[in-house]
Amino acid sequence: MVGYWNLAYSYEYLNLLAEAENTLQRASERQLEIPDFLIQRYDIAFLKGDTVAMRQAANLGQGNSGRKT
């Protein structure tokens, strides 16, 4: 799992945000999740100016699916 995080972080550092997102997606498809992935998803969304994705990542981090009840 840490390998995916390290690769995604490296892509993010190089401003290759699509590659970073794809790396995190591949980890998710393999059902590999660590809290650092949520933080990184938030960071990428921030860099892209995507407030919806930022909110989704924050909600997931709080154990909330983001669904309004």
- Tens of pLDDT, residues 7-44: 999 999 999 999 999 999 999 999 998 889 999 999 99
52: in domain? yes
Q: How far apart are CA 45 and CA 54, in angstroms?
A: 5
Q: Residue 15: which domain range?
A: 2-61
pTM of the model: 0.82
The per-residue pLDDT for 64 is 56
The per-residue pLDDT for 14 is 97
49: in domain? yes
Are 5 and 33 a contacting pair, CB within 8 Å?
A: no
Check whether 58 has a pLDDT greater than 50: yes
The total domain count for the chain is 1
66: in domain? no
68: in domain? no
| CA proximity to 60, closest of 46, 47, 42 | 42
The per-residue pLDDT for 69 is 44
Hunting for tokens 């290759």 — which residue is that?
16
